[in-house]
Structure 1
Amino acid sequence: MRRLLSILLGLVCVAFLWSIRELKEQARRVERGWFPQNPKRT
C-alpha cells in the first residue's frame, strides 16, 4: 500500500513540474510570435 501511494505521489509531482515547465515554454512561444496571445487573458 505504501509503495502504491509513493508511486502515485511521484507521478503527481512529475505532472506538476511538467506543467510549470510547459507554461513557461508557452510564454516563450508567444513572445517569439509563433502563436497569438489570448486576448481574454489578463
Structure 2
Amino acid sequence: MANTTPKSGQPWTPEDTRALRKLADENTPTRVMHMPVAS
C-alpha cells in the first residue's frame, strides 16, 4: 500500500496555493516542491 499524507484527497487551501506559487516563483525544483506543500 502506498504512503499517503494527511491532506491526501482534500482540496487545496488558499495558504497551500500561495506556498506553491512562492516556491514556483523562486525556481524551486519540483522534486523539492512537494515536501513543504504536502506536509
Note whether the superposition's TM-score is higher than 0.5. Answer: no
Please tell me the TM-score bracket, short chain as reference: 0.3 to 0.5
| TM-score, normalisation: structure 2 | 0.39
The one of the two structures with greater contact order (alpha-carbon pairs below 8 A, sep at least 6) is 2
Which is greater in Rg? 1
Higher helix share: 1
| TM-score, normalisation: structure 1 | 0.37
